[in-house]
Amino acid sequence: KQEVTQIPAALSVPEGENLVLNCSFTDSAIYNLQWFRQDPGKGLTSLLLIQSSQREQTSGRLNASLDKSSGRSTLYIAASQPGDSATYLCAVGGGGYQKVTFGIGTKLQVIP
């Protein structure tokens, strides 16, 4: 059974700081890995999708990396802004119908 762990559970940083969120998973036979953002009481917004054959993806100030062999992914956020405050969820896809397993998220607060 796939298990996904996200560290830290919560993070508070001053505006402008670069930061790294971590995700680890127990079964390296994955199909893809997706990072999501969730604002309080809202649904999930897709940020980045990394295919199992890729090592990283970039979108604006976000960069996600994937090391399948070690079961790890990181989400790097450059020059953080107060608007980045949200919960960030890592989701690992695997299985014939792409069953997705989520971590519990990292709650990020960026202080102006």
Partner 1 sequence: DTGVSQNPRHKITKRGQNVTFRCDPISEHNRLYWYRQTLGQGPEFLTYFQNEAQLEKSRLLSDRFSAERPKGSFSTLEIQRTEQGDSAMYLCASSSRTAIYGELFFGEGSRLTVL
Identify the residue among 43, 60, 83, 112 touching partner 1 (CB under 8 A).
43
User: Which pairs with CB-CB distance under 8 Å and at least 24 residues apart come from 71-74?
Assistant: 71/24, 71/25, 71/26, 71/27, 71/28, 72/22, 72/23, 72/24, 72/25, 73/22, 73/23, 73/24, 73/25, 73/33, 73/35, 74/20, 74/21, 74/22, 74/23
Stretch that binds partner 1, among 14-22, 59-67, 73-81, 90-98 (CB under 8 A): 90-98
Looking at beta carbons only, is 16 or 95 nearer to partner 1?
95
Q: Which residues bind partner 1 (CB under 8 A)?
A: 4, 31-32, 34, 36, 41-46, 49, 51, 89, 91, 93, 97-105
